[in-house]
Chains A and B, each alone.
Chain A
Amino acid sequence: MNWMKCLFVREYQLANRVGGGALIGVLFFLAVVTIFPFGVGPDMILLARIGAAILWIGALLATLLGLDRLFQADREDGSLELLVMSGRPLELVVLVKCAAHWTATGLPLVLATPILSLFVGLDFESIVRVTLTLLVGAPALTLLGAVGAGVTVSMRRGGVLLSILVIPLAIPILIFGVSAAMAGAIDSNNFLVPFMFLCALTLFGLVVGPLAAAAALRVSGD
């Protein structure tokens, strides 16, 4: 268990220190949310109606942006080889890396969501719903994104291809996340049904993500 803790701390610190850290993702999130009103007009009623969708798409894009460094930085300095050959289950290594990556980049996005919600004019209950759905759904984005990151790890500029490969996989997450965020009261079935599906997708990602990403990493080792 100790090696997992060490790996988590290492990954978390690296993610925070290299390349601007967590704030750069939040900054990108803010930028995406800011350009929407310029596109659709400063109509607060319209913005409140599509606000949850704006926030979800912003979070999705911000997550995709950070994913290409998930394994690539380790590959460049050679530590990925060491992790593959360390004798630890590579699936667990990937899971720990995803957890650290999400804590460093995904969690700040979730924490920023209530503040950014104010810009699109959401009421209190909508803010709670959007934040809750992102808290549950954003890990699934990272986990499925890890598959794309593992597959494109050997490419020098794999970022765009990674996004193209991951976006189709992220569609169900987006559908159920936005549906739950836009639903009525928090204890009604309108909210609970898509929310449960969202939880299921995260659990699904928890299994498929590390398995597939580890398989891809094993292949791309020279």
Chain B
Amino acid sequence: MTLYDLANPTRFLKLVKIVLPWLIAATVIALAVGLYFAFFKAPEDYQQGQTVRIMFVHVPSAQLALMCYAMMALSSVGSLVWKHPLADVSAKASAPIGAAFTFLALFSGAVWGKPMWGAFWVWDARLTSFLVLFIMYLGIIALWKAIEDPIKAAKVNAIITLVGVINVVIIKFSVEWWNTLHQPASIIRADGPAIHSSILIPLGLMALAFVFLFVTLHLMSMRNEIMRRRIRAMRMRAASVVPAASSSTITKPAPAGAR
């Protein structure tokens, strides 16, 4: 089975139906084990105390926030270059998930920052880049909502996503440059202390669990989007049939709707 076979939504839905229960089980197990290690096995930090446990949610969220954008960019290439219909759906499904995880990373960072730094927010380079990423996600979601025709919306979004992916690198670099200009002593050290394995193992487990979670959510969201498009096509078909039926003389065949 190649990627092109997957372009058939029905075949894709069938595959999702088989894979999804296993993925959900894997996500639940990985999350349970990860959270158990994070809360009961990992030691307190000698400086940060219990708040170090926020990291087990914060770091995987941040990692997923970037992964979602990568997913969106890859899907955008797919929909622009190969006009792969599922790539459109995949790009659309990634955006809200990415926005949610970016928000989670920002929120957990703020909650951790209050006791540690004494402030919910500082204009640190990483925080600032993530805030910009969050705005970009929300802009892309708004653009999806603003254009009604799904095919046109997909192409337009693919263009802005790809311009964004080049710019993300420039923004990251420029924000770091700006940050060193304004506050030479950064709070987060670039060469942080090596992390002990007692923390690294739960962190890895949580990262794995979050990746499972992402794949699960992404597939479910793609499935919903395909359903939504089918409903839209059915409604349009129904709307175009009804007046013809009421006139009762002409029975026009229903036009083949969008996929």
> Are A201 and B143 interface neighbours, CB within 8 A?
no
> Are B143 and A161 interface neighbours, CB within 8 A?
yes
- Cα–Cα distance between A216 and B138 once the two chains are bound (Å): 19
The verdict on A165 contacting B146 (CB below 8 Å), with A172-B174, A212-B159, A219-B155 known, is no
> Are A169 and B156 interface neighbours, CB within 8 A?
no
On B, residues with C-beta under 8 Å from A are 80, 132, 135-136, 138-140, 142-143, 146-147, 152, 155-156, 159-160, 162-164, 166-167, 170-171, 173-175, 177-178, 181
> Are A151 and B160 interface neighbours, CB within 8 A?
yes
- Cα–Cα distance between A172 and B173 once the two chains are bound (Å): 9
> Are A168 and B171 interface neighbours, CB within 8 A?
yes
| Of the residues B156, B160, B163, B167, contact of A172 by C-beta under 8 Å | B167
Closest CB of chain A to B132's CB: distance in Å? 5
Listed residue (A168, A215, A220) with the most chain B CB atoms within 10 angstroms of its CB: A168
How extensive is the interface on chain A, given as a class?
A: 20 to 34
Closest CB of chain A to B155's CB: distance in Å? 4
> Are A175 and B177 interface neighbours, CB within 8 A?
yes
| Of the residues B159, B164, B166, contact of A215 by C-beta under 8 Å | B159
**Closest Cβ neighbor of B128 among chain A residues:** A171
Query: What is the predominant secondary structure among interface residues of chain A facing chain B?
Result: helix
> Are A168 and B132 interface neighbours, CB within 8 A?
yes
> Are B159 and A216 interface neighbours, CB within 8 A?
yes
> Are B139 and A165 interface neighbours, CB within 8 A?
yes
Asked if A158 lies at the interface with its beta carbon under 8 angstroms from chain B, I say yes
- Cα–Cα distance between A176 and B173 once the two chains are bound (Å): 11
The verdict on A169 contacting B174 (CB below 8 Å), with A158-B146, A220-B152 known, is no
> Are B164 and A164 interface neighbours, CB within 8 A?
no
> Are A168 and B163 interface neighbours, CB within 8 A?
no
Listed residue (A164, A169, A201) with the most chain B CB atoms within 10 angstroms of its CB: A169
**Closest Cβ neighbor of B136 among chain A residues:** A168
| Of the residues A151, A171, A197, contact of B159 by C-beta under 8 Å | A151
